[in-house]
Structure 1
């Protein structure tokens, strides 16, 4: 099942730490088959208010996502990201194509 690393970053300042992070992150994803599916960009706000940047990285499994986040290569980049941003970062599993909204009620 596809899993996602999601970050909602606020107060992003493009400083040297962020630049070094951006230049380094792609190489950390490759060994775990991770790839960006959302990386900031313009949004069309339909309801409520939200600020900051949304980043979503897809991995083939939650295990791959966990291994990426725990890898030495990515751990070395985390402080660089934190030098120029604040926010929430989490991993979450996706659902399959047959998922229906009421499936969450069975749990």
Structure 2
């Protein structure tokens, strides 16, 4: 099942270390078949607060995204970003084909009874 690395970058900057990170990150993703789906656009906030921007990277599955994040190549460049751009990062699995919110609600209702 497809999995994603999602980062909420609160105060993006063009610090030289961050630019180096950006120049090197794709090479760390390639062995794990990672590809950018969203990469730092302006966000249109409709509910709540969302300072900064978002990055979404798609991988074939959780093994690939975890392998990428924990790889020596990525861990080597990660401080270039985290030292200058505060934020949060999560690794998350996508939904299966045919997923529906109503179906999930029904399963949760059934589990609660």
**TM-score of the superposed pair, with normalisation by structure 1:** 0.92
The within-5 A match list for 1:1-107 is 1-101=1-101, 102-103=103-104, 105=108
- Rg (Cα) greater in structure: 2
Deviation at 1:99, TM superposition (A): 0.4
Alpha carbon RMSD of aligned pairs, Å?
1.5
d(CA) in 2 for partners of 1:54 and 1:11?
A: 11
Deviation at 1:49, TM superposition (A): 1.9
Indicate if the aligned counterparts of 2:9 and 2:85 stay in contact, CA closer than 8 A: yes
What stretches of structure 2 of length at least 5 have no aligned partner? none
d(CA) in 2 for partners of 1:90 and 1:42?
A: 20
What stretches of structure 1 of length at least 5 have no aligned partner? none
Indicate if the aligned counterparts of 1:3 and 1:94 stay in contact, CA closer than 8 A: yes
**TM-score of the superposed pair, with normalisation by structure 2:** 0.87
How many pairs align? 107
